[in-house]
Amino acid sequence: MELTVATIGRAHGLRGEVALDLRTDDPELRLADGQVLRTVPASSGPLTVVSTRIQNGRWHVAFAELGDRTAAEQARGIELVVDVDASDEEDAWYPHELAGLRAELQDGTVVGEVVGLDHLPAYDMLVVRETDGTRTLVPFVRVMVPVVDVAGGRVVLDPPGGLLARDAANLEVATPEEGSAAAADAADAAEAGAVSDEPQDDPTEGGR
């Protein structure tokens, strides 16, 4: 199974160095000097890591095959991938482990099926296809996804009223004051519950 480690971002400098948008929590291993990474599209690789550095919290990498800025600019958007099996980290899963899991509520009501994992700056989102075909994004944080049971083929959701399409009629409209408080509570919950990967990277690695 292919796992996306990172996506190549903008070129940096004149010698072919590029910034990376990471999709792994273990960049030291995945991007170690000498690592050879396959690419999507395959015709753009493989790429060999020559050196890495971190600037302002962002990884910058030089690849042997990208010798100048022109080559680096042309590489923008290329995905770097590796082959993986299953995650052996507690409370972390690869997207391919999550895809296809049954999504149900805490009372056992089937909501639909997990079809993917989207990475947002704050935290990851489970992509759930509900039984009526609607695609819904559910924040992949413990307060909203308290159970991930890969062996049992299911995830358990505890979403607020109105998040799921099936519950749209239950959506409560808050006053501005209530809305501000709810937003603050949601942000606190996301910060407390969000974990990253990698393995949280679609296919990338995801965790909560």
Is 38 in the same domain as 120?
no
* pLDDT, tens only, 84-139: 655 544 456 767 778 899 999 999 999 999 998 887 666 788 899 999 899 999 98
Cα–Cα distance between 125 and 68 in angstroms, integer?
A: 36
Q: Give a yes or no: residue 118 inside a domain.
A: yes
What CATH number does the domain containing 181 carry?
2.30.30.240
Share of the chain above pLDDT 90, in %: 38
Cα–Cα distance between 29 and 186 in angstroms, integer?
A: 33
Res 30: pLDDT: 86
Res 109: pLDDT: 92
Mean pLDDT, residues 147-158 taken together: 90
Cα–Cα distance between 199 and 87 in angstroms, integer?
A: 6
What confidence tier does 53 reach under pLDDT thresholds 50, 70, 90?
A: very high
Is 63 in the same domain as 157?
no
Strand order from edge to edge, sheet including 147-149? 135-139, 124-130, 110-119, 102-105, 154-157, 147-149
Q: Please tell me the total count of domains within the chain.
A: 2
- What are 180's two structure tokens? 């501000």
Is 124 in the same domain as 194?
yes
Is 78 in the same domain as 118?
no
Q: Is 173's pLDDT higher than 70? A: no
Name the amino acid, one letter, at 54: I
**pTM of structure:** 0.48
